[in-house]
Structure 1
Amino acid sequence: MTGARGQAGDDADRFRRAHQERALVEGPEGPVEIDLTESPLRWLASRKDAAGRPFLSSTEVEAGERFRRDFTLAGLSPRLGATWAAPVSGGRPAGSGPDYADVVVAAKQRLDRAIAAVGPDFASLLLDVCGFLKGLEEAERERRWPLRAGKVVLKLALGTLARSYGLGETATGPARAPAIRTWRAPAGDPG
């Protein structure tokens, strides 16, 4: 019986993976594999505006995905079942990477800073769409907004979030750094 169950599990996993668009995205603690098709933000990013340009800019998408990563790492995603893994305690070798609790706390702090930066009106929509992965139609219905209003408000929220993260469409700064003339201390300086 175990063989049949194992085969069914393998088939289900193969089927699930065939219908996902998986990608590695760089997180603060290393690469994380995500399914791009589960995000309403990625769906909206694939849409074009009236002029044929992407509705969301790459920085708006990056800001929303960064928000989503921190939301997930902070442990705020709802669990659909029990966690059967044994709790992990100390005894890890030194230098083996960040402690799980540190990762969760750091993600929660980044998320709190982002929420404070965008304000409560934008934060609730960002939490629903980027965190809880609700569709825009559902978010509009819950807020009793007119159709397609969520799309515009989400774009404004993502723009504000991108600015709070310091993301921009173009690199800014001097064309090149000033030349370094010497590495030596000035004459007469003992230091």
Structure 2
Amino acid sequence: MIARQLTDCLHPDDRIDPGKSGPQAMRRVTMNVAESPVQWLASRGLLTEAQCRAGERLRADYERAGLAARVTMRWDAAPPAKVRGGARAADASLARIDAQRRFHGALEAVGPGLADICWRVICAGEGIAGAEKGLGWPARSGKLVLGLALDRLARFYGVG
């Protein structure tokens, strides 16, 4: 199994507590690169490092913002208890709001024609062939269009 740490995709704005300055403790996430279409393309030399990082940043913002469909009930949505630690829930909410703003700003920067393939491949984890078919595009056009979209994402996130 191929796994890698996703620490290089973090941005200074991704802090847990926006009220504190300087670096803060963040959790490390290990992922299977075979599950990410962006990582799969990058491992075959079809994407540049900047494109790969931009795609992973968009995916991280999408997941941090909680925009994915839920399969089960959210147990963390219960009102916070009247004990210590209530501020941490507020910090998590602020981080989620910031991630939503970055995500929507990134898709707006990419543009309406390119945002569709970004969402399908990067966020929904759909393969390029499936995205081409779903969008009604000709075969083998998705890699080129995704590359253009990732270039715009890299400019938006400042990684390219």
Q: Give me the TM-score of the superposition, normalised by structure 2.
A: 0.78
Q: Residue 57 of structure 1 corresponds to which residue in structure 2?
A: 48
Paired with 2:93 and 2:126, the residues of 1 have a C-alpha distance of 27
Q: Residue 128 of structure 1 corresponds to which residue in structure 2?
A: 120
Paired with 1:119 and 1:158, the residues of 2 have a C-alpha distance of 11
- Indicate yes or no: 2:137 matched with 1:145: yes
Query: CA separation of 1:70/1:77 partners in 2, compared to 1, >3 Å: closer, same or farther?
Result: same
Quote the offset at 1:86 in angstroms: 6.2
Quote the offset at 1:97 in angstroms: 8.5
Q: Residue 23 of structure 1 corresponds to which residue in structure 2?
A: 4
Q: Give the counterpart letter for 1:89 in structure 2.
A: P
**Is this contact kept in 1: 2:80–2:86, CA < 8 A?**
no
Q: Residue 105 of structure 2 corresponds to which residue in structure 1?
A: 113
1:2-55 Cα distance to aligned partner (Å, 9 max, x none): xxxxxxxxxxxxxxxxx4x333212324244133221111111112xxxxxx22
- Indicate yes or no: 2:32 matched with 1:41: no
Q: Provide the identity percentage.
A: 36
Tell me, what secondary structure is at the counterpart of 1:82? coil
Q: Residue 69 of structure 1 corresponds to which residue in structure 2?
A: 60
Between 1 and 2, higher relative CO (CA 8 Å, sep ≥ 6) is seen in: 2
1:64-108 Cα distance to aligned partner (Å, 9 max, x none): 000000000010122233334562516444875862211110100
Quote the offset at 1:134 in angstroms: 0.8
Query: CA separation of 1:92/1:150 partners in 2, compared to 1, >3 Å: closer, same or farther?
Result: farther
Q: Residue 152 of structure 2 corresponds to which residue in structure 1?
A: 160
Residue number among 68, 71, 77 corresponding to 1:80 in the alignment: 71
Q: Which has the higher helix share?
A: 2
Tell me, what secondary structure is at the counterpart of 1:99? helix
Q: Give the counterpart letter for 1:160 in structure 2.
A: R
**Is this contact kept in 2: 1:64–1:158, CA < 8 A?**
yes
Unaligned 5+ runs, structure 1: 1-18, 48-53, 169-191
Which of structures 1 and 2 has the bigger CA Rg?
1
Tell me, what secondary structure is at the counterpart of 1:23? strand
Q: Give me the TM-score of the superposition, normalised by structure 1.
A: 0.67
1:119-162 Cα distance to aligned partner (Å, 9 max, x none): 11111111111111111111000111111100110001001110
Give me the CA root mean square deviation: 2.2
